[in-house]
A and B are shown apart, each in its own frame.
Chain A
Amino acid sequence: MKIEILGMGCANCNKLYQNAVEAVKLSGKEIEVTKVEDIKTIMGYGVLSTPALVIDGIVKVAGKVPKAEDIKEWIK
């Protein structure tokens, strides 16, 4: 499994990244979390609102910052 955080580095993007890292810790799994800040790559996902969270190529949320507990449910 792979988690990508799409965003150009604003406060919400950083918060979502932190929440995703925390969710991975809570899950006890070894999952890679990476930041994607290049806007062309971001737009390649069809995302028009950031931050966004992508799990294995599927956008799970865009324009919002879900809590770590919510993200944990997606990576069960």
Chain B
Amino acid sequence: MTEKCLCEPNEVIIFSCAGSSNVGQIANQAAIKLTHGGVGRYFCLAGIGGHVSGMIESTKAGKMLVAIDGCSVACAKRTLEHAGFQIHEYVQSTDLGIEKNHQFHVDPADVERVSDHIASLVSKRRGLQ
């Protein structure tokens, strides 16, 4: 697959946890769905935690940071804040009534619930900007 040029600005940057639970995997899938839907661009949270200079500097160029966590452990939020980034929109999958378990079953309806929620938040914020 041909990669497109990276010179277009990433207005909305999306990070998610990809934790070892159903809700972590739902968060990850929601970030991918939002990227495919053109809401924003999925960036690598591990790159932030690993202090990868390219990831850090690319994130600084973003206009709006979105974080999606699976649960209240809030690893994505904590990782970004630890690196000094301000999160503009945020949700935990469990906030939307999805129960956490460790069976990794991802219901597409749950992914849609999380991605729709974030898409709505981003849309509202864009309206304010």
Contact = CB atoms under 8 A, between A and B. Distances in A.
A7 B56 CA distance: 17
B61 A46 contact: no
Given A59-B54, A63-B58, A64-B61, A48 B6 contact: yes
Contact of B54 (A8, A13, A62): A62
Say what secondary structure dominates the interface of chain B: loop
A39 B7 CA distance: 11
Nearest to A8: B5
A49 B121 CA distance: 24
B61 A51 contact: no
A42 B62 CA distance: 18
B58 A46 contact: yes
A12 interface: yes
Interface residues of A, number: 24
Interface stretch (B20-28, B40-48, B65-73, B107-115): B40-48
Interface of B: 3, 5-7, 9-10, 41, 43-44, 47, 52-58, 60-62
Across the A-B interface, give the 10 residue pairs with the lowest CB-CB distance, nearest first.
Answer: A63-B61, A46-B54, A62-B57, A59-B53, A47-B54, A45-B54, A46-B52, A48-B58, A50-B6, A59-B54
